[in-house]
Amino acid sequence: MKKLLLSLFVSLAFSGITYAAVDLNTASKEELQTVKGIGEAKAEAIIQYRKQHGPFAKVDDLDQVKGFGDKSVEKLRTELTVGSSAKAADKTAKK
């Protein structure tokens, strides 16, 4: 009975932890580095790409950044997102 209660308590304690994807368009260098597979150099490359080309429209656009290929983008896809700034930029570009 104690083991059951302990496991129930542990599962409830961790249920409040939410997983948040890192936004390619707003994340700082430090935030980008929290993603497994993105080190200091790749985080800097993402930020430089944003400065030169504007916000990412989709996570797949990451393959345009030096150091990222299709395979690495596929591995990172679940940990990354693009925010509303990309959607606004995409709508502006379509007009």
Give the angle subtended at the CA of 65 by the CAs of 34 and 82, to the nearest 5°.
60
CATH of the domain at 27: 1.10.150.320
In a domain? residue 35: yes
In a domain? residue 10: no
In a domain? residue 5: no
For 21, residues 6+ apart whose C-beta sits below 8 A from its C-beta are 78, 79, 80, 81
Which pLDDT value is given to residue 1?
Answer: 73
- The count of structural domains within the chain is 1
Q: What is the pLDDT of residues 12-49, one digit of tens each?
A: 555 444 457 999 999 999 999 999 999 999 999 999 99
Which pLDDT value is given to residue 37?
Answer: 93
Domain with 78, as residue range(s), is 17-94
The yes-or-no verdict on residue 58 having pLDDT over 70 is: yes
CA 94 to chain centre: 25
Q: Which of 46, 20, 14 is nearest to 33 (CA)?
A: 46
Q: Is the pTM of this model over 0.85?
A: no
91, HSE (Cβ side, Cα atoms, 13 Å): 5
Characterize the bridge pairing of strands 80-81 and 22-23. parallel
